[in-house]
Amino acid sequence: MAEPTNTPMPTAPPTPRSGSPVPALPTTTTISTTTTSGQQSLTSSPTTTRRPQWPNPHSQAHSRATSLTVPMHSPGPRPVVLHIGDPVKYNPETYAEFSTLFDVVRPSAEERARPAFMAALREKRWGDFAAIFRPFWGTGGEMGLWDAELIALLPESVRVFASAGAGFDWADVKLLGEKGIIYCNSGLAAGEAVADFSVALIISTFRALPYCITSASKPGTFQAAHAQATALSHNLRGHVLGLVGFGNIGQQIARRCGAGFGMEITYYDVERKSGAVEAALHARYCDGLEALLRGADCVVLCAPSGAGRIINAESLRWFKPGARLVNVARGALVDEDALADALEQDRLSGVALDVHADEPAVSEKLLRFAGSKALLTCHNAGGTVETHVGFEELCMRNIMAVLSGREAISPVNLQWLK
């Protein structure tokens, strides 16, 4: 689930993270791969996968129903949904319901290039559409940043923008809200995958996995690593895990590492969670970033990019000697040059970074530590088949909910909604 190359910079301030864990997934079911044309197609995924269940869009009234409802069953034309990106692949049953309720218009790849896309909006080629639907990361981002220039061209009829992915640093969600458009991300769908991947990265920093893996591929270093890795390795039990951000993903990581590995859980968030959440996860709140960093043996970043460059030369001095850093959030949170300096000076024992400040480029200074102190991956944390099944489903459910006057399932900008 790599970030699109056309979304390099954050455009909105941080927003509170959901305090609830990802919805439970049902038992394994077979996924049909019927295309929208009715033909059967094969995918490269396993033949069975778990499909997430989201709240029924007809079950809860929207607090803004008077102003946001777009009648779906009244006489006359159906609401138009602008579908940007590839066709729906994993959820044909939901799409059948979706396309019954709405007229779905999908611009071609050529029409989605920024100049052509803006020209089409100016001439109202797709009419007064009510929603924007982007079910995949890999496509649908051809028009680049959703900034003031682009958002100004949207018709007043748009009520909801539902997109794949947890991050939204490529869209000015504040400006969308001020225009009356609810932006819904798909972080709920990615939470399980990101949390699982995070555990692997955490383990890598305690068990010197970059060194062990690299040494196994070089015949002359196998024996040396076999003998020397022990002195670099530690069990997770009893060590303090510090989570920066304690929303859906942070809580899932806490549950895995606390219950599964016996780690002590601490967290820092702009919004302290309820006593019930803290008690259930045996998590201790730190009243500032410095307090968390000074006490943690391993720090995991799972905060939105709008938090700013919180890991920098100053905050790196707050880390315990030999501590570890894992980043599954956004590369913009870290001063990579300062981090490389900390590794060079042996102030940190290891890092595991799935995200980078200038993707797809990776810091040359950090690359020097790949295979020794650094595990560097390619924005893979959320990239599973199950995540993409959930992206599609959740995007459609969000749109169906909002346009029927119900509450959005995963909105991120209600505080700016006008």
> Which residues carry out catalysis?
330, 359, 379
CA distance linking residue 207 with residue 324, whole number of Å: 11
Dihedrals phi, psi of 45, to nearest 5 degrees: -85, 165
CB 389 within 8 A of CB 51: yes
Neighbours of 60 (CB within 10 A): 13
3-state helix, strand, coil in the chain (%, to 5): 35, 15, 50
Widest Cα–Cα separation across the chain: 76
Select from 255, 253, 268 the least CA-distant residue to 199: 253
CA distance linking residue 391 with residue 148, whole number of Å: 26
Do the bridges between strand 298-301 and strand 323-327 make them parallel or antiparallel, or are there none, so unpaired?
parallel
Do the bridges between strand 240-244 and strand 264-268 make them parallel or antiparallel, or are there none, so unpaired?
parallel
CA distance linking residue 84 with residue 170, whole number of Å: 15
Q: Could you give the dihedral angle defined by the CA atoms of residues 233, 237, 239 and 245, in that order, rounded to the nearest 10 degrees? A: 110
The helix-helix angle for 248-261 and 187-206 (nearest 10°) equals 40
What is the residue-wise DSSP string for 243-305? EE--SHHHHHHHHHHHHHH--EEEEE-SSPPPHHHHHHHTEEE-SSHHHHHHH-SEEEE-S-G
Between the CA of residue 162 and those of 90, 166, 193, 330, what are the distances in Å? 17, 11, 20, 20
CA distance linking residue 344 with residue 258, whole number of Å: 31
